[in-house]
Amino acid sequence: MPTTHPMTLTDHRRTLVMHVLEDPPGRYTWRIVVEEKCGGAECDSMIEAAADYPSHAEAEAACWAAGNSMLDKPRAAGEVTDTQTLH
């Protein structure tokens, strides 16, 4: 399942790591890993799209909207951080 570098949004309670994935070829979906800040405990969870999208841009926009709605206050596009992964 090919993916691009994830985007990250954060507020004082959580960090959202947002992934756009291609599966099957030519169809796109998204997944958000929610990293809760709850003391020393691990409180991570995952949210997945209920549908797929015909383009990467549409999946990314839907992922952004879902993630942005979970934060304390909406974030502007300029506040997104690209998360680099090591392969």
pLDDT digits (tens, 9 = 90+) for 31-85: 999 998 877 666 789 999 999 999 999 999 999 999 989 887 766 555 555 554 3
Phi, psi of 84, rounded to the nearest 5 degrees: -90, 135
Cα gap 16→9, rounded to integer Å = 5
Domain segments of the chain as ranges: 7-73
**First vs last C-alpha separation in the chain:** 15
Q: Around Cβ 49, how many Cβ atoms within 10 Å?
A: 17
Predicted model pTM: 0.76
Nearest Cα residue to 62 out of 46, 73, 50: 50
Tell me if residue 2 falls in helix, strand or coil: coil
pLDDT digits (tens, 9 = 90+) for 7-24: 899 888 889 999 999 988
84: which 2 tokens?
A: 């680099």
CATH classification code of 7-73: 3.10.450
